[in-house]
A = this chain, B = another copy of it.
């Protein structure tokens, strides 16, 4: 009897299990995806991604957000190569840091200054620390279930976290003014800040845009209590608009946290803030070995060039809508109930009556076999590299996904 042939992905998984706990860590671990998804990748170009087994996908995760103008974008690559030939990690910043801070201050209405770091968690942690430093108070309000990073103060996983790590957090429900007001009352005269995601994009749930009434109430309560309004724009920033996501509901934060799409995959994060927090920000000691490195800042400047000159958020919106409308038509034709939520640039697709995500898994796995990488639970990401032809190719794959699902479901499933 022939032994099954191991694929390169399977071989790498076996090697990884020996030298990486659990074989992989964090959000890129394939263990929350259906069996059949690859763990290891070989290369990428534009909106296409190749796994180590040589399979090509039209990609709708965009590396979970960072890739916003497509892999290997020539404008970004040229800027990166030029900066690399000069220098990256030096004894101080290059001029790119000043240029990028000026650029962000010019683009983002609330921003009077910027600081730079490497991880989204660096940026959200700096915002929380700065809210405390600037107000002299301690309580930070966070929405229940919101993801603001993977440090002990905010990690969704309790392993190794002490009660004290979250001693000064109070929770409210996103878009729920009453729960917000209750939390503000509980904080009393110790309210340092309120941190809100750009919109509700919690794992496995339908997405919700911010209710303008809620957003304005957050602003009012922060003003009335001398607290910082922090928008966590790490996931959504530079995809919906280049001005900060709450600009879309007419509310300006005091502080914003940015990362992911800011430099098209190069490691960079930023905090922007207004004059009110400038002095406190100058007194923080926030730093890291690579936080002033020039290449990722050159990449960010080039990425913003491309997003501005091509009206990137609009382009991603158009392509996201094309995908959404195609999927909606297919779902209706198959009589399968789906819910598509969130901004079109960051679509979430969930199935009705699918508590264990079995439908979602079946659907996305079938799409994967047809060369399209979707996520069954998490919001997805568009890039400006997705063309009409890529969306139409994806719709062939989603059609196959619906067909596979229909074949598995009992008759009358969709009624």
Contact = CB atoms under 8 A, between A and B. Distances in A.
B95 A40 contact: yes
A66 interface: yes
A267 interface: yes
A11 B201 CA distance: 42
A26 interface: yes
A366 interface: no
A68 to B, nearest CB: 11
A39 B93 contact: yes
Interface stretch (A42-50, A245-253, A356-364, A401-409): A42-50
Interface centre among A115, A122, A260, A292 (most CB of B within 10 A): A292
Interface in A124-158: 125, 128-134, 138, 150-153, 155-157
A205 interface: no
Nearest to A283: B159
A304 to B, nearest CB: 15
B122 A159 contact: no
Interface in A62-104: 63-67, 71-72, 77, 80, 84-95, 97-98, 101-102, 104
Which of A65, A84, A287, A291 counts the most chain B CB atoms within 10 A?
A: A287
A289 B120 CA distance: 7
A28 interface: yes
A87 B160 contact: no
Contacts of A153: 152
A54 interface: no
A155 B285 CA distance: 7
Interface in A235-250: none
Interface in A358-385: 373
Nearest to A269: B289
B150 A285 contact: yes
Contacts of A288: 26, 118-121, 150
Given A287-B150, A289-B65, A290-B118, A39 B138 contact: no
Interface of A: 8, 12, 15-16, 18-22, 24-28, 30, 38-44, 49, 52, 59, 61, 63-67, 71-72, 77, 80, 84-95, 97-98, 101-102, 104-105, 112-115, 117-122, 125, 128-134, 138, 150-153, 155-157, 159-162, 164-165, 167-168, 234, 259-260, 265-267, 273, 278-293, 296, 373
